[in-house]
């Protein structure tokens, strides 16, 4: 059975990683697929801020995961 603190650290790490990579993909997608026009213009400041927040949450979850092992 996996202890609760380890599961919570994994969930926090997964949510932070999802927030990080989704916003990085939103920023980089026009460069990889220039033929696809997005429905709305991408707000680069908001996407970059969310990517930074995602990185901090991912790092926090990773550090918690490493200390729980």
Q: Where are the alpha helices (DSSP H) in 1-69?
A: 4-32, 44-68
Residue 2 has what pLDDT?
Answer: 87
Nearest Cα neighbor of 39 from 31, 47, 30 is 30
Please state the pTM of the whole predicted model.
Answer: 0.83
For the stretch 1-59, pLDDT in tens is 889 999 999 999 999 999 999 999 988 886 666 676 666 777 899 999 999 999 999 99
Q: How far apart are CA 27 and CA 51, in angstroms?
A: 10
Residue 20 has what pLDDT?
Answer: 97
Residue 34 has what pLDDT?
Answer: 67
Residue 42 has what pLDDT?
Answer: 77
Q: Domain segments of the chain: what residues?
A: 4-68
């Amino acid at each position: 059975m996996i202890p609760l603190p380890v599961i919570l650290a994994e969930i926090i790490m997964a949510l932070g990683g999802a927030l990080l990579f989704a916003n990085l993909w939103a920023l980089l997608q026009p460069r990889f697929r220039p033929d696809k026009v997005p429905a709305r213009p991408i707000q680069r400041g908001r996407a970059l801020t969310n990517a930074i927040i995602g990185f901090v949450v991912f790092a926090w979850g990773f550090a918690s995961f490493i200390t729980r092992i």
